Amino acid sequence: MIAHLRGRLISKSPNQAIVECAGVGYDVAISVATYTALPNEGEEARLHIFTKVAEDQLALFGFAETQEKRLFERLLTISGIGPKLAITVLSGIAADRLIAAIRASDHASLTKIPGIGKKTAERVVLELKDKLDDLATALPAATPVLSHGPVGDDALSALVNLGYARAVAQKAVETAIARDPAVTGSFEGLFRAAMGCIR
């Protein structure tokens, strides 16, 4: 069972990293949080690994921090949540905000995460609410979400509703505004510019 990888980072994207170890390139599914924590391509990367073994597939899920991996493993104990959905959840909301939402029975915040419906949110709260105390103090605080006015917030919301991870959408909106501050005057203009930054 693969538990840890250290090697040259060949490539990375918000949901995937390829790490070369002893001449072998490992394809690893990652969260947005881990993506932002990874070094530049070509540099040495370290990932804590969860290995999923199925009859026809060996899948690797990587984490920059052990605490994020532990939260991922807690999510897997919930009926209806597999590794792919768990990594999507961790990409859709910062780990500390996810823990806070679960402990506060904040179903509304949980259902905003792509792939999490009302029933799944209820199961997550019911089964994990009292089992996250050790993680609540161990995870670093999330980076505050910046607001770029009503137009920027609407564009961010629209991207999230399309299924993009909040961190990816936020970065796209910020990049679009940095390139051309005038786009904040038009929702359509900012939305199109942000979409261009993602692609």
Retrieve residue 131's tokens. Answer: 């089992």
Residue 113 lies in a domain: yes
CB atoms within 10 A of CB 156: 24
- 49 and 70 fall within a common domain: no
Q: Residue 131 is part of a domain; what is its CATH number?
A: 1.10.150.20
Output the pLDDT for position 3. 93
* Model confidence pLDDT, tens digit, residues 155-199: 887 877 777 777 788 888 888 988 988 888 888 888 889 888 886
Instruction: Give me the domain span that covers residue 34.
Output: 4-63
- Average pLDDT value over all residues in the chain: 86
Domain boundary among 91, 112, 136: 136
The CATH number of residue 164's host domain is: 1.10.8
Residue 39, domain CATH: 2.40.50.140
Residues 139-151 have a mean pLDDT of: 56
Domain limit, last residue, from 13, 48, 63: 63
The average pLDDT across 28-57 equals 92
For residue 107, what are its two tokens?
Answer: 């179903």
pLDDT band at 141 (very low <50, low <70, confident <90, very high): very low
φ, ψ of residue 137 to 5 degrees: the values are -95, -10
84 falls within a domain: yes
Residues 42 and 95 reside in one and the same domain: no
Same domain, 95 and 47: no
Number of domains in the chain: 3
pLDDT at residue 11 tops 70:
yes
